[in-house]
Structure 1
Amino acid sequence: MRFSALRRALCVGLAATVLAGAARADEVRVVSSGGFAAAFKAVAPEFERQSGHKLVAEWGPSMGKTVNAVPQRLARNEPIDVVIMVGYALGDLAKAGQVVPESRVDLARSLIGAAVRQGAPRPDIATVKGLKAALLNAKSVVYSDSASGVYIEKELFKKLGIEAQMAGKARMVPADPVGEVVARGDAELGFQQISELKPVHGIDLLGPIPEEVQSVTVFSAGMVATSQHKDAAQSLLRFLASPTAAAAARESGMEPMAGK
């Protein structure tokens, strides 16, 4: 009798524990910049397995006026719990009170790379001289509407002394992956974060632009101030700073900042 009573008690306790765990499971809504998308997709199932929470992810630029851009989503009061985006843009949202400043986690450093359509001639961009020649020789050049593209348009062309030559053939691409534009043949040469170019089929990655004119972007994550699932959001942020997520970031072409 005692054994049966004890077994019943244990079963009741186990059921209560399972129900309590289920009650704590939340649906965590995430919006990530494309730069961190590959790494996030790789680790999301493991977070769900470990935590019991469900992730609902969407993608959008860290800045800009396109409908999917993170600032535009927050301005519309979309129900978002965590954002993953360019660090300085996240910092602006924190200053505006839209992201909790103390929740910020710096995840990885990302370099700008270049790509051509698969099978097309591959210009050597390993040196500043080679990069300049590739840009001048290309019939059309595209770059993203996020951090890398802003840098290319506002600073890189100026550093190379080719602003005037690029004005008629270089353009920013809003809300469309640069690699896909190049793969379709709509542009001869494309620039974006390497982590955004790597997953695209139909292109050849030329590598990063030279260190002397490189711009390093830090991708960061933070909890949205209006999140309705703050504990779950914090749990996700801790996971994104873990060695598991760091390995995925490295595999996607970024330099993880875990442990730094």
Structure 2
Amino acid sequence: MNLRARHVAPTALAALIGCFAFAAAQAADVQVAVAANFTAPIQAIASGFEKDTGHTLIAAYGATGQFYTQIKNGAPFEVLLAADDTTPEKLEKEGDSVPGTRFTYAIGTLALWSAKDGYINDTDKVLKDNQFKHLSIANPKAAPYGLAATQVLEKLGLSEKVKDKIVEGQNITQAYQFVSTGNAELGFVALSQIYKDGTLTSGSAWIIPDSLHDPIKQDALILKKGENNPAAKALVEYLKGPKAAAIIKSYGYQL
């Protein structure tokens, strides 16, 4: 049998190499500061974003207040996904972001949660009975969900009654961990940490009515360090699209 090597014309080969080189040049990494409550959704969004755009999302998770300090001190973040709207607005006014890029990507929901089944019966009764030893919240000075938790306690007239039982996490992830490990019987967490596709994933909870705290509007924006990064712009556009929206809603956020 006569085998003959397939010949590729030099011009065609050069064009093919050029296409690969162009694609490689267009792909970029984007450094993203992500509010801790949005950890699970952004991890789910990241895989689709990378598949659809070729860009790679590199995320750091924490409290929005701490991210503000880090950004002001020169941290290399290119996009901020905050847990509030006031921090991005402040960064925008202070000239630390790309003008016109700020938008609300989600509206968060606060929940009172216990890792124990049946401990919370979808009401505020367990709080008012005040038979627990520890109540976990995120630091209200750094984490908007922690601030919302203090507003709930104030509205219910419980601030003074439970103040000696509060254990404070640096961010909403640590507040959740205090409850999940049994160090606190219950705590205020982001609904997205305990909810997926319309179902509570573990324990028992009370979804806090919006009337008990200020709206948790979560804004995103491109920071100055991401001004010339195509991956930063692509991420912001992707977050506004239908694929990201479906994931965000599946974790209990409003849009």
User: TM-score by structure 1 length?
Assistant: 0.83
Specify the code of the residue in structure 1 equivalent to 2:89.
Answer: G
Q: 1: CA distance between counterparts of 2:12 and 2:219?
A: 44
Matched, 1:223 2:222: yes
Q: Cα gap change, 1:133/1:165 in structure 2, threshold over 3 Å: closer, same or farther? A: same
Q: Cα gap change, 1:194/1:141 in structure 2, threshold over 3 Å: closer, same or farther? A: same
Contact 2:135 2:186 in 1 (8 A): yes
Structure 1 counterpart of 2:24? 22
Matched, 1:11 2:13: yes
Structure 2 counterpart of 1:133? 128
Q: 1: CA distance between counterparts of 2:75 and 2:219?
A: 20
Query: How far does the alpha carbon of each residue in 1:100-140 deviate from its partner, in whole angstroms, 9 at most, with x for none?
Result: 24111211111100111234x423243x5x36425x23221
Structure 2 counterpart of 1:74? 71
Q: CA deviation at 1:223?
A: 0.7
Q: 1: CA distance between counterparts of 2:29 and 2:95?
A: 23
Query: How far does the alpha carbon of each residue in 1:127-185 deviate from its partner, in whole angstroms, 9 at most, with x for none?
Result: x5x36425x232211111211211222x2222112222112112321145222111211
Structure 1 counterpart of 2:37? 35
Percent identity between the two aligned chains? 21
Q: 1: CA distance between counterparts of 2:88 and 2:194?
A: 22
Query: How far does the alpha carbon of each residue in 1:11-47 deviate from its partner, in whole angstroms, 9 at most, with x for none?
Result: 3222212201211221211110012221110011221
Q: 2: CA distance between counterparts of 1:92 and 1:99?
A: 10
Q: 1: CA distance between counterparts of 2:99 and 2:218?
A: 15
Q: Cα gap change, 1:49/1:202 in structure 2, threshold over 3 Å: closer, same or farther? A: closer
Structure 2 counterpart of 1:174? 170
Q: CA deviation at 1:254?
A: 1.1
SS at match of 1:235: helix
Structure 2 counterpart of 1:66? none
Q: CA deviation at 1:71?
A: 1.1
Structure 2 counterpart of 1:93? 91
RMSD: 2.5
Q: 1: CA distance between counterparts of 2:222 and 2:112?
A: 32
Q: CA deviation at 1:10?
A: 3.2
Specify the code of the residue in structure 2 equivalent to 1:34.
Answer: A
Where in structure 2 are the equivalents of 1:164-243 lying within 5 Å?
A: 164-175=160-171, 176-198=173-195, 204-227=203-226, 229-243=228-242
User: TM-score by structure 2 length?
Assistant: 0.85
Contact 2:36 2:62 in 1 (8 A): yes
Contact 1:112 1:191 in 2 (8 A): yes
Q: Cα gap change, 1:220/1:31 in structure 2, threshold over 3 Å: closer, same or farther? A: same
Q: CA deviation at 1:84?
A: 0.5
SS at match of 2:224: coil
SS at match of 2:217: strand
Matched, 1:150 2:147: yes
Q: 2: CA distance between counterparts of 1:169 and 1:55?
A: 39
Q: CA deviation at 1:70?
A: 0.8
Q: 2: CA distance between counterparts of 1:210 and 1:106?
A: 20
SS at match of 1:103: coil
Query: How far does the alpha carbon of each residue in 1:54-98 deviate from its partner, in whole angstroms, 9 at most, with x for none?
Result: 2211111111xxxxx211221231111111012222112211222
